[in-house]
Structure 1
Amino acid sequence: MRFNWIGSLPEDPKEFLSVVKQQLKLPLEEAFKLFYLTLRIKASSDSPVYKFLERTPTGIKFDEIGKREYLLTLSVYALREIISQHIDLKLVKNLYLLLSKELPSEFLKDVSPKHSIVVSQDILLELLTTAGKTELPAFLKAKHIIFNLRIDGNSEDLLKITPYLTNFFFVFEPKPKEFCLYTSFSISEFVLFSIKTEKFKSIQPEVEKTLEKFKALFPECFGEL
């Protein structure tokens, strides 16, 4: 089994589309699992945020970072699900209104609401850049900065590790006739993955190599884990 470091795919959504279509040649709906957005949320009351969290949306990372101030990280795949299922919520409406302007139309194709949406004035959203996320405290960087991996191997070996992955999809490579999977990790998630998969001795060199890359990029985060 081989762990191939992809790191952060292009931050610009148009560049991301170009890479996944022309270089990686991935199905677009699956590739949306690899493109992450981080937003700073400021709310004038707790109610819209609590109502959002009551729906227990999957595939998000959420932290309270101040009084009525929050950090939300989610993939475009998760965003599409949230918009299609929870557009009645104020926070989701504002997410849609902001991101429909920031993202190419392909990102929200088929999930855009059929009716007009009115912005909620009591929720402010700010889309953070990668540079902005590197300014976060270490414990937040460890959770909200996301990296991507491609893992190559036979199907039996790959299936052994999937219970320890929170986000992945398979791709079959005709040459050399083997499967691979694409997955995403935050720093804290990969540390947890490395602990849970210690019993698989054959992949430990690959896990250690990847862990060292995380440590080289963000050494300050490992004092928080």
Structure 2
Amino acid sequence: MNNSQQREAERPRARGTDRSLARRAELIAIGRRLFADTSYDALSMDDIARQAHVAKGLIYYYFKSKRGYYLAIVEDSVAELVSRAADGPELPGAERVHRTIDGYLRYAEHNQAAYRTIIAGGVGFDAEVQAIREGVREAIVATIAEGAYGRRRVGPLPRVALLGWLHSVEGATLDWIDRPALPRDTMRELLVKMLGGALRAVEEIDPTCVAPPDARRDD
């Protein structure tokens, strides 16, 4: 078989792969909406198939089980959130912190179902789901640490402070997308100032963990 014949033979397979990826992505998008509004245990595979207007076997074909389907939804949502939050690595530290928080809020605002799935939806204390959520938190904490301290890995004290701040961000953001009384810019500035307070508290406890200039109070 010459090169031209080989390329021609591969085209149907490539088209089939593209269609499969598109179909899988479509099912994940549907699942984001379903699991954002309904708990994991409350949705059966029959419910999912009916609301998605697909045969139940198609979901089993792509994801093997309901749990596999849910994990794929969470992983897809997490990857997009982390990518959005980590945007702008070339920026100076303070700007990167602002960009990270703004990207986080923009994602939550424009992907509300996916954000709720990541933060609040799901299967309770399923270890694998919890590991995915902890992974996204660690990635965002590392991004904020790099902007604030110039390095992704920090000691236990600043790490706990940043993680505690992030948990408060999650709760505030869930409330904000449910009751969007504040403009996104105002939310961003509030969260930035809350972060500054956490970084100053760390420095007060351990002076070797110097807060960035932007986090200091005006004298």
Query: TM-score higher than 0.5 here?
Result: no
Task: Find the structure with the greater CA-based Rg.
Answer: 2
TM-score by structure 2 length? Answer: 0.24
TM-score, normalised with respect to structure 1: 0.23
The answer to which structure, 1 or 2, has the higher relative contact order (CA under 8 A, 6+ apart) is 1
> More helix per residue: 1 or 2?
2
